[in-house]
A = this chain, B = another copy of it.
């Protein structure tokens, strides 16, 4: 691998505190290009299970040293340096990630910009918060009222499990790593087996930047592995203080169980999934019936972008069954037919999507309007986008109709009237988002719907489409289970940092110790 500081001798199993991780013999694998079905040249392997302990132990030592020695290290400088180096390596990163994921270079360039922007935003947040009290209670004149100053300390080493669908923004140097580093925590990232080469590149960048900015080598490690054991070993390892995960409900809850069974239980912040329902209210539907309406164009784009492989992809469209809604849905099916979807990320994702579509096709209460498996849908070919229609009664009778289809697929729920539409919200699972499209005539329904949807999503949109996530101060990327298992948290935006901080109250803190107490690092 050109440009790499690490000699590629034998399969690469990751990087532990600056040195190559030891590989578990007989576990080598290569990444596969979804667009060509070819295997790439670079060879990877599962790290030995002992490397999880070695990485955790190095991280814990590095953390203790950074907390207690006299050096001043600003997380913001580390994050800023990462952003600068990522920018400098942009073309190589995008080229490798595009080959490993079949996501377009346009999309990956935009995702990388989001990733560097996220690093800079969190750097600035860390700088503005570290060293300042969160709250203070001045000493009182009467009764028991000592002076209190509330600060934060980092939790300690964080294990990060990235997602398959965002190799940059939710990858080795994605939002979880960025927010853990911003909080002053070391990170051990698990490389994603669907893009090991991208993971390795990012890991090498992190290793070099950690060294160049004066942090102890244990501040960052990367472990490769295809199976569950290496990840579980990492979550079990002494010294790990928290886990951040983005992926499947099954994978995330399994790690949460491992974490709860430790002798010292640790928090697992898992962003899992769920359904993103979009409610098109009748007056708004009346405005959307043109074949080239903004609604039809926007929903087509939101459904097919990245082959529909977004946690926030709209999976359900809920409408009142009237002429306008039917015409809009027909136009949507037509518009989707004109959009080619790139191949899916992995054979596993494709198999799950195909089987989910088969399930709906065979369901007697579901009418398939477009798409579904065909000869050209063999593995390593693009899938067609898929639209099915179901009545609200059928959905109530069989809520599994709303199970998430990860890919360019949508189920339209036809309601009898407005009360039925309001009521069916109770049969639709929670998710990261819920979206209301309303026109002035829908005001009353919109107000009623808001109060129900806020109980079932981490973000409620008024117009627009949920696949765009603004990374800001007011961002929530979370929600009720299964959007996340940690409902009070967000995995995106400046408040993602708070997952990795612990409050500490200083009582009658002397002024001379104030900076030392309130600084995160």
Contact = CB atoms under 8 A, between A and B. Distances in A.
A507 B133 contact: no
B507 A462 contact: yes
Contact of A470 (B146, B267, B517): B146
Interface string A449-493: 011101101111111100010101111101111100111111000
Given A474-B148, A475-B148, A68 B451 contact: yes
A88 to B, nearest CB: 22
Contacts of A28: none
Contact of A508 (B146, B256, B462, B516): B462
Interface string A244-266: 00000000010011001100111
Given A253-B265, A446-B513, 11 more contacts: A135-B472, A256-B260, A264-B482, A446-B510, A447-B512, A450-B516, A451-B516, A461-B508, A476-B504, A479-B502, A489-B503
A99 B153 CA distance: 42
Interface string A494-507: 01001101111111
> When A and B form their complex, which 3 residue pairs have the shortest distance between CB atoms, in order from nearest?
A137-B472, A150-B474, A148-B474
A448 B68 contact: yes
Nearest to A472: B137
16 contacts: A67-B451, A135-B472, A148-B472, A148-B475, A155-B487, A155-B488, A447-B516, A450-B517, A454-B504, A458-B503, A461-B508, A470-B507, A475-B505, A476-B505, A487-B502, A488-B498
A239 to B, nearest CB: 12
Contacts of A265: 253, 256, 481, 485
A294 interface: no
B67 A462 contact: no
A109 to B, nearest CB: 14
Interface string A301-326: 00000000000000000000000000
A487 B146 contact: no
A137 B470 contact: yes
Instruction: Determine which residue in A261, A486, A498, A503 has the highest number of CB atoms from chain B within 10 A of its CB, and name it.
Output: A503
